[in-house]
Chains A and B, each alone.
Chain A
Amino acid sequence: MTGNHMTGNQKKRYFTEKTAEWMFTACGLIAVFAVASITIYMLMNGIPALFETGLTELLFGTLWQPTAAEPSFGILFVILTSIIGTAAAVLLGAPLGILTAVFIEETASGTLSALVKPAVELLAGIPSVIYGLLGIYLLNPVMYKLELKIFADSPDHQFTGGANLISAVIVLAIMILPTVISVSASAIHAVPASQRAASLALGATPVQTIFKVTLPSAKSGIAAAVVLGTGRAMGEAMAITLVSGSSVNFPLPFHSVRFLTTAIVAEMGYASGLHRQVLFTIGLVLFVFIMFINLTLTKVLKGREEKE
C-alpha cells in the first residue's frame, strides 16, 4: 500500500522495473556464459598441445614421460583407464544400487525403508577425499596382500603396494551408489500402483511383478540413474588419485594406473610449458566424454517426458 506512494513517480517506477528485469535476465544468463567460457577455454588450452606433439602421438601414444630429457606425451593408457575403470565401476555399482532401490521401494517394510532411504541420501554428501582416505587406508593393504599372493612367482610384475585399478574401481563403485540408489528409487516410486495390482491380480508373484512389470516400467528413470552414476565415476578425481597408484600403465586389475582426472590432479601442481598444455588436453578429452554423457542423459530424460 505504501508502494503506491513510493512509486507515485511513474518514471521512477518504470526505471526500477526495467532495472530489475535486466538484473534478473543477467543472472539467468550467467549459466549460459559460464558453460560457453568453460567450453572456449578448454578448447583454447587443450588444442595447442595436439598440434605441437601431433594428434596421433598424443592420443594414441602409450609412453608417458612428461619430465624426461626427451619428453613423450602419449595418453592412450590414461584414456583407456578412464573408460575401463568407469565401465567396471558402473557394472559393479549399478546392479547393487538398483537392487537396493528395489528393496527400499518394494520389499522393505515401511520403517526399514524409512531408515535406509535417509541414510543413503546422507552418504551422497560425504566429501570424496574421505572415500579416498578409506581407500588407501583399508583397501590398499588388502590389495597388496592379494598382490603378493598372486604374483609371488612372477618376477616381471611391478609391485604397486595395493594402489591399483581394482582399488580405484571399488572406491568408484561405492561412490556412485547413493546417486544410483536415490534416482532409481524415485523412478520405481513413480510407477503407478495400478500396474502392480494388475500384475498381482493376474497371478504373478510379487518378485515376478518387480522384475517383469515394475522395473521395465521404471526403465528410463533407472537408465538416467545409471548415466548419472557413469558421469560421477568418470569425473571423480580426489577419491582415486592416491588409491589408483602413481604411474601410467595399461589398465589391468593389478596395475598402478592414472585416470584422466587423476593425471590432472597429480601433475598440475608442478607441470609447466608443454606438459601443462597436455594436462589441459587431458582435461579436454574428459570434457568431451562428460558432454557426451550429459547429452545421453538429456535424451534419456526427454524420452521419459515424451512417454508420459
Chain B
Amino acid sequence: MSRRKRKDHILTALIGFSALLSVTILVGIIGYVFYRGIRNVSLDFLVTVQSPVRGAMGIAGNIVNTLYIVILTLAAAVPAGVGSAIYLNEYARPGKLVSMIEFTMETLTGIPSVLFGLFGNVFFGEVLGLGYSMLTGAFTLMLMVLPLIARNTQEALRTVPENYRSGALGMGAAKWYMIRTILIPSAMPGILTGIILAVGRIVGESAALLFTAGSGFYLPKPGMGLAKKVFESGGTMTIEMYLQMAKGNYDVAFAIASVLLILVLFMNFLTRSVVARFGAEGRKERK
C-alpha cells in the first residue's frame, strides 16, 4: 500500500512538474520577447523605411509588404476555401471524389512551408513567369491557408440546421439563392474564424515566402507603383526579422518580434471574441 502511495506521489509530481515546465517555457518566450524588444519599438520604427545610407532603421516597407501579401492571399484563398467547403457540404455526394478532396486537404495541412516555398518558386515564379513577387508569394500562401478556411467554413455549415435549407428550397428558392442568402450568412462566424486564423498564419510565415516573395524593404511608389508592386519582390516583417537576426542585429530582430507578437495576440483575441459571440449559438443549434 505504501509503495503504491509513493508511486502515486511521484507520478502526480511528474505531471505537475511537466505542466509547470511547459507553461514556464511558453509564457517565458512571450515575456522575454517583450522584455528585450519592446523598448526599441517606436513610432519612428513603424513609419520610416530602413536606409543604410542614413543609418535609419524602420519597418514601414515591410509592414506594407505584409499587408500586400495578406490581402492578395485572402483575395485568392477566401473564395476558394469557402467555395470548396460549400461544394463538400452542399453539392458533393459521398464517394471517391469527396474522400480524395478531403485527403488532399489533409495533405496540404501537413506539407512543410519550406516545400511550399520550393513549389511556389518553380511553379508560380518560373513556369508562370511571376518571378520573385508579391503575387508569387500570395499564390503560394493561398495553397497553405486554403485548408484552414475550408475546414472552418465546413464546420460552420454543418451547424446550419437542415430545415433552413429545406425551408428555403421548399419556398421555391433556387439552390444558389439559398446558399447566397441563407447558408453563407449563417456560416459567417466560421468563415471569419478561418480568415483570422489564416491572417495569423500569413503574418508569421517565413520559409514559404523567402523564395517566392523574396526580400526587400522599400515602400511602393505612389500612383501606378501601388499596382505594379504586386509584380515586384518584397519582404514581410517576418522575413526582415529573419534577415536581421542572421546579420546579428538582435535589437532590430527583437523589436520586430515584439510587433509580430502583438499582432498574434490581437488575432488570438479576435478569434476568441468571434467564437464567444457566435460559437455558443452554433453549438446550441447543433444539439
By the criterion CB–CB under 8 Å, are A126 and B12 in contact?
no
Which of B51-59, B249-257, B277-285 makes up part of the contact surface?
A: B249-257
Interface of chain B residues 230 through 287 with chain A (CB within 8 A): 238, 241-242, 245-246, 250, 253-254, 257, 260-261, 264-265, 267-268, 272
Q: Does A236 make an interface contact (CB < 8 A)?
A: yes
Count contacts on B: residues with CB < 8 A to the other chain: 92
Q: Does A193 make an interface contact (CB < 8 A)?
A: no
Q: Does A67 make an interface contact (CB < 8 A)?
A: no
By the criterion CB–CB under 8 Å, are A41 and B119 in contact?
yes
By the criterion CB–CB under 8 Å, are A102 and B15 in contact?
yes
Which residue, B18, B27, B33, has most C-beta atoms of chain A within 10 A? B18
**Residues of A with C-beta under 8 A to B216:** none
B22, B205, B254: the one contacting A127 at CB < 8 Å is B205
By the criterion CB–CB under 8 Å, are B33 and A237 in contact?
no
B22 → A minimal CB distance (Å): 4
By the criterion CB–CB under 8 Å, are B14 and A99 in contact?
yes
Q: Does B222 make an interface contact (CB < 8 A)?
A: no
| Given A24-B86, A207-B8: A31 in contact with B105 (beta carbons within 8 A) | yes
By the criterion CB–CB under 8 Å, are B211 and A268 in contact?
yes
By the criterion CB–CB under 8 Å, are A16 and B80 in contact?
no
**Residues of A with C-beta under 8 A to B22:** 96-97, 100, 120, 177, 181
B86, B87, B146: the one contacting A34 at CB < 8 Å is B146
By the criterion CB–CB under 8 Å, are B19 and A234 in contact?
no
B8, B119, B150, B267: the one contacting A38 at CB < 8 Å is B119
**Residues of A with C-beta under 8 A to B8:** 205-208
| Given A211-B11, A261-B207, A265-B210: A3 in contact with B172 (beta carbons within 8 A) | yes
Interface of chain B residues 107 through 142 with chain A (CB within 8 A): 107-108, 110-119, 121-123
Which residue, A129, A280, A293, has most C-beta atoms of chain B within 10 A? A129
By the criterion CB–CB under 8 Å, are B11 and A207 in contact?
yes
By the criterion CB–CB under 8 Å, are A238 and B112 in contact?
no
* B81 closest partner in A (C-beta): A27
By the criterion CB–CB under 8 Å, are B19 and A126 in contact?
no
Q: Does B220 make an interface contact (CB < 8 A)?
A: no
**Residues of A with C-beta under 8 A to B112:** 231, 234-237, 261, 286, 290
Which of A54-62, A103-111, A152-160 makes up part of the contact surface?
A: A103-111
Q: How far is the CA of A199 from the CA of B168 in the complex (A)?
A: 50
Q: Does A91 make an interface contact (CB < 8 A)?
A: no
**Residues of B with C-beta under 8 A to A99:** 14-15, 18-19
By the criterion CB–CB under 8 Å, are B84 and A27 in contact?
yes
By the criterion CB–CB under 8 Å, are A134 and B16 in contact?
no
B80, B206, B245, B272: the one contacting A128 at CB < 8 Å is B206
By the criterion CB–CB under 8 Å, are B101 and A126 in contact?
no
Q: Does A45 make an interface contact (CB < 8 A)?
A: yes
Q: How would you classify the secondary structure of chain B's contact residues: helix, strand, loop or mixed? A: helix
Q: How far is the CA of A178 from the CA of B30 in the complex (A)?
A: 14
**Residues of A with C-beta under 8 A to B108:** 31, 34-35
B121, B254, B268: the one contacting A125 at CB < 8 Å is B268
* B18 closest partner in A (C-beta): A99
**Residues of B with C-beta under 8 A to A131:** 29
**Residues of B with C-beta under 8 A to A178:** 26
By the criterion CB–CB under 8 Å, are A25 and B206 in contact?
no
Q: How far is the CA of A242 from the CA of B27 in the complex (A)?
A: 23
By the criterion CB–CB under 8 Å, are A28 and B88 in contact?
yes
**Residues of A with C-beta under 8 A to B172:** 3-4
Q: Does B164 make an interface contact (CB < 8 A)?
A: no
* B265 closest partner in A (C-beta): A122
B4, B257, B268: the one contacting A122 at CB < 8 Å is B268
By the criterion CB–CB under 8 Å, are A264 and B204 in contact?
no
**Residues of A with C-beta under 8 A to B81:** 27
**Residues of B with C-beta under 8 A to A29:** 84, 101
Q: How far is the CA of A290 from the CA of B108 in the complex (A)?
A: 11
By the criterion CB–CB under 8 Å, are A133 and B110 in contact?
no
Q: Does A65 make an interface contact (CB < 8 A)?
A: no
Q: Does B228 make an interface contact (CB < 8 A)?
A: no
B27, B204, B210: the one contacting A119 at CB < 8 Å is B27
A135 → B minimal CB distance (Å): 10
Q: Ordered nearest first, which 3 A-B pairs have the shortest CB separation?
A: A235-B112, A27-B83, A127-B204
Could you list 19 A-B pairs, sorted by A, with CB under 8 Å?
A16-B174, A25-B87, A28-B87, A32-B101, A34-B143, A116-B19, A119-B27, A127-B238, A129-B238, A132-B242, A132-B245, A133-B254, A174-B29, A205-B8, A237-B207, A242-B245, A268-B211, A283-B114, A286-B112
Chain A interface residues (CB < 8 Å from chain B):
1, 3-4, 7, 13, 16-17, 20-21, 23-32, 34-38, 41-42, 45, 95-97, 99-100, 102-104, 106-108, 116, 118-123, 125-134, 136-138, 174, 177-178, 181, 205-208, 210-211, 231, 234-238, 242, 261, 264-265, 268-269, 279-280, 283, 286-287, 290-291, 293-294, 297-298
Q: A102-B15, A125-B264, A133-B254 are in contact. List 4 more A-B contacts (CB 8 A).
A: A3-B177, A24-B83, A27-B82, A31-B84
